[in-house]
Structure 1
């Protein structure tokens, strides 16, 4: 697979340029050398010994050297007189595979514990044909899980490990498809376009490309932008005219920079027929509906990006943001009722309205109090974000100095920042914001090195000083590219000690299902998390919990003795526990036994992944898990159900004489009925139909004929007011009703 980007094959360098003597075949051999250096030394290397620095500590030096060679080869290819599309496309694919398939090659099963929880959702929907809105909040957005379940069942796939394992690489390659459409829109030379496409997978170290609604929603988001920008920008682009001083005396350079006339930073819109445009409008509506049904956050970015593009004159579908908002509000109010009904304030608006606190929680708040290496990795993530943002600023300035108005790239960059006013998203909103900023950031960052919109003309005789200057972008771009690629390998796999899932941890959950014989299971697990009176420890262990028979499991944490540390944290200012104090904590078998006595079918789950997580994040001794399992093996009160080098499962030798808990009865879709709900279920589809028809009519009218849209507006306006009133009525009437 390669990315096709149209480029003007205009000669740009003199034959005297030393780099011109490098033929494409030599660069191809260099790419082959880098690939061999990167992959061959990895034979036999495993990440089992990874520490707080993650995978970077176990990678062989030749692998790192191979990464440098691959990066340098790509930048050198950009320095050729003419574009070599095939070579550039192959290099980008090799870059994606080399960076994003590294852990998959080294580990036996799919990484990220969360992906196995998603496997549990898929398995439950596939097995039962239903959703369980009372089992997990993510069942209120089930479209992605249902789609994957349908496809795997249709093709006869029963073991999801291969799908889960390689989905990050597949998703990264799929992202290149809409990105290649967006890159065609930008008014830039071929070097900037190819460098932007290369930067995208290199700067995307966030790790949200595994089999998840976020990855699927992000792919839809990129296609949404690609369709909007390719086919629905105005035919005549709005440009920056001169300010009031622009027609008088010669303005200063600073005034011209900010207020002088500017050319649009995008090429003219691609013209297609009316029927094709109508089909594309329906496709945009389908993307909005699918994205809304699949993920909680992504629909907001659909709406905000479309609205911002309308405001700056780069989208002619002016009613599309309203249409998307109606879909979003309708889904939240009716289809996600099971999510917000217990407490709208603590679900829909959790962390909202306090962007500064959300930002701190997502950045410095994620720096661990345990292993210093983990804190350094977290700081490096912040540094990499700042580096990318600095490059975007430089690119924006260099383009504006050339009289180019890159408002589309700028809008794509800044709109995601508004998500900080929404939920904190479990402390991950900063990562999601950075992820959605990338489509705009990579273009502006590429412009920092290659700002000219057209190829530089050939000059037969170039003075020596100018020839030196021509090398500067290549040298600087190579340095920046190596820095970003090295940063990727460090931060993307920086948590690999507790993000790699081991086969024994999957077998541990299988053993509980087998031993319980279909009865509800209470999993007791040990956490070293320090909590205060205002906080609660995590609900689930680090691991592939509930990856099968999701409805059978519930979880209880058994905490270390931690009252002295919680008291210190409550002081003003808080006093952080010392490393010695953290290491001195230990769980008690008596406390674990008490937690297991609450249920007649309790199991203690202990695993390597949870041991590493507690050690690195909360300062527990490195061998605490091993010592705990030795104590459990020696105690007559506990019976071992399963054990290998990765995990162990125990239950009480004498089960408690307490009534067995009734199994959780999963609830399907619950809409919730208020007095006006039936009217809302009628208003919503009618309003969506009117708004869609309005946009279909709009694309067939000239700017002078827009008055013909008034009948659609007259019908839509009262329907919209009625729907909003019903949504408010539902929140007031149904909010707080227990499930």
Structure 2
């Protein structure tokens, strides 16, 4: 009875808790600071109800699915329901790329730093095709719901992977719960990497389903291999992954090579791995050749710096906001706990050694050693290892044959601790990821100006600022060289001026300052926390700047270089 009551009650409390949340109070810890107590009560009831469901062998799959989907909704639909606009600056950037693809009928000219997306266009071309087929105006109509929808779609291939390893329903659903409780990296927004990761997990699920495992032993006379139809589907998945994202194909190859190490797997895995290597090589030497060739020296140089690659994503906490330091350490603790628990399961649950799970957990490590990927490789390695690690952790937690009620009392606090760690990583940066309608209006104003005008922002936290990136050059101050950022930190206006030197009356500059940019400076510490405020104060007193747009959360200044005849 409790299982049937806890789910609807917890979901009802969750929805009720979202009324009246004051998003303006978010600071160091993002949504964690503004969500009411009822939200946390709902999450606790959900976890307790799920653990209770695991006690009973007779619990139908439908209730397990309800609890896991309920967890997905609570975690991932909360921002979608609370925020008035699309969350996260990179999601807005990807929306702009889809619009540019449609506007240009394919490859986007004058793409500048976004030229990379012309060389891996699969995700954007697919969305452009969908918009044209349905008659929708923009992906903004559905992009805000990408996180909950993506995670719900991911559930099917996750279950297929786990069913290939065990027939214990409770262990399968427990692993799914663990995955969603620990997936804090946040690569589930409207992005090509989210799309490619979904296809990657689907591909691994199809491969795992073909392998001889302890859960599905095959008679000796049973042929092991691929039918033509299934192999064609696998190659299609590989092709879409390869044309959509540069990193995921390498993770895919690494995972397939790892799965091919046991001799019994090679007949199934080697053809798939060979197809992945061949298709990736063809793509990288043709369509993606400009990017690969221009960065080849950097790739080779990274190979001889494995220690630097591993720790690159863990540095630079000294200038971050105090709450962000706390968030970072919680993220590290959760990640370390997952790998530690997976290792304990490997040692104590001997049956897991006969599966491909340990190999899949280790598969991302060669890429972690080989390249820093802009400081993100350590997080991506965790993400790609997590589907397999989750089942190992579940194998440690969920053998329910003895004293099930006592185990509920023991395991529920652990599940809540994992969820707490997840929410630190997933909600902790929301002060900069959340945008108001006023900020959206400022971004739209700046990009609606005369083509060729320069657009300047302090950080990337401006929604829609690259909406016409093929028509407007863009300068983002916090990604400039160290010397430029040091000058900006000392004197924001003096640091800005070199980037405005070539503006004219015909091609002026538009400087956009906003609430989220100020929040991002404070949170990550790349620039001093008061950079946006100081720059606004200096611009108000400087010659050549005109206020052309202002509201509560943003301001846009127009600048024409007086030396070029554009002064007031």
TM-score (norm 1): 0.70
| Structure 1 residues 411 and 337: CA distance shift in structure 2, 3 A | same
Work out the CA distance in 2 between the residues paired with 1:473 and 1:419.
38
* Contact 1:31-1:73 within 8 A present in 2 as well: yes
Alignment deviations for residues 586-613 of structure 1 (CA, whole Å, 9 cap, x no partner): 6354553453232222111211111111
Mapped to 1, the partners of 2:149 and 2:435 lie a distance apart of 20
CA contact (8 A) 1:504 1:647 kept: yes
Determine if contact 2:99/2:138 at 8 Å carries over to the other structure. no
> 1:177-576 counterparts in 2 under 5 A?
177-230=156-209, 232-233=210-211, 237=212, 265-268=214-217, 277-312=227-262, 313-317=264-268, 318-346=270-298, 348-349=299-300, 351-363=302-314, 365-400=315-350, 405-451=353-399, 456=401, 469-516=403-450, 519-526=451-458, 541-544=460-463, 546-556=465-475
Q: 2 CA distance for matches of 1:361 and 1:608? A: 29
Structure 1 unaligned regions, length at least 5: 1-22, 238-263, 457-465, 527-539, 568-581, 660-739
Cα offset, 1:473, TM superposition: 2.8
Corresponding residue number in structure 2 for 1:114: 90
Please list the CA deviations of residues 650-708 of structure 1 after superposition, one character each: whole Å capped at 9, or x if unmatched: 0126655279xxxxxxxxxxxxxxxxxxxxxxxxxxxxxxxxxxxxxxxxxxxxxxxxx
Partner of 1:708: none
CA 269–496 in structure 1, closer or farther in 2 if over 3 Å, else same: farther
After the TM superposition, which residues 82-161 of structure 1 pair with which residues of structure 2 at under 5 Å, given as runs? 82-132=58-108, 135=112, 136=114, 137-161=116-140
Structure showing the higher helix proportion among its residues: 2
CA displacement at 1:147 relative to structure 2: 0.5
State whether structure 2 residue 33 is matched by structure 1 residue 57: yes
Q: Does structure 2 retain, via aligned residues, the 8 Å contact 1:182–1:229?
A: yes
1:616 aligns with 2:523: yes
Q: Distance in 1 between matches of 2:529 and 2:40?
A: 28
Q: Is the 8 A contact 1:602 1:651 kept in 2?
A: yes
Residue 398 of structure 1 and its aligned partner are, at CA, apart by: 2.7
- Give CA deviations for 1:485-527 in whole Å, capped at 9, x if unaligned: 12222220111111113333332232123332xx21212334x
Q: Distance in 2 between matches of 1:566 and 1:589?
A: 12
Gaps of 5+ in 2: none
Q: CA deviation at 1:188?
A: 4.8
Query: What are the within-5 Å matches in structure 2 for residues 639-658 of structure 1?
Result: 639-652=546-559, 656-657=563-564
Alpha-carbon distance change, 82 to 52 in structure 1, aligned in 2, over 3 angstroms: same
Q: Distance in 2 between matches of 1:69 and 1:434?
A: 28
- 1:227-247 alpha-carbon deviations (Å, 9 max, x no partner): 1111x32xxx4xxxxxxxxxx
Deviation, structure 1 residue 418? 1.7
Counterpart-to-counterpart distance in 1, 2:301 and 2:21: 43
Q: Which has the larger radius of gyration?
A: 1
Q: 2-side partners of 1:163 and 1:326: how far apart?
A: 35
Give the whole-Å Cα distance in 1 for the aligned partners of 2:405 and 2:279.
52
- State the SS of the aligned residue for 1:319: helix
**Secondary structure in 2 matching 1:477:** helix
In 2, Cα distance between the equivalents of 1:544 and 1:315? 48
Q: Which residue of 2 aligns with 1:572?
A: none
Cα deviation digits, residues 5-26 of structure 1 (max 9, x gap): xxxxxxxxxxxxxxxxxx3xx3
Q: Distance in 2 between matches of 1:59 and 1:392?
A: 32
Q: Secondary structure at the match of 2:510?
A: strand
Q: Could you say what secondary structure the match of 2:522 adopts? A: helix
Q: Is the 8 A contact 2:186 2:426 kept in 1?
A: yes
User: Residues 174, 350 of structure 1: CA spacing in aligned structure 2 closer, same or farther, 3 A cutoff?
Assistant: farther
Aligned CA RMSD, in angstroms, stands at 3.0
Q: Deviation of residue 145 (structure 1)? A: 0.5
CA contact (8 A) 2:249 2:280 kept: yes
Q: How far apart in 2 are the matches of 1:619 and 1:101?
A: 30
Give the CA deviation at 1:84: 2.4
Using the TM superposition, give the Cα deviation of residue 274 of structure 1 relative to its aligned residue in structure 2, in angstroms. 11
| Structure 1 residues 477 and 59, CA gap change in structure 2 (3 angstroms) | same
- Per the TM alignment, residue 399 of structure 1 is displaced from its structure 2 partner at its CA by 1.4
Change (3 A) 1:385 1:377: same
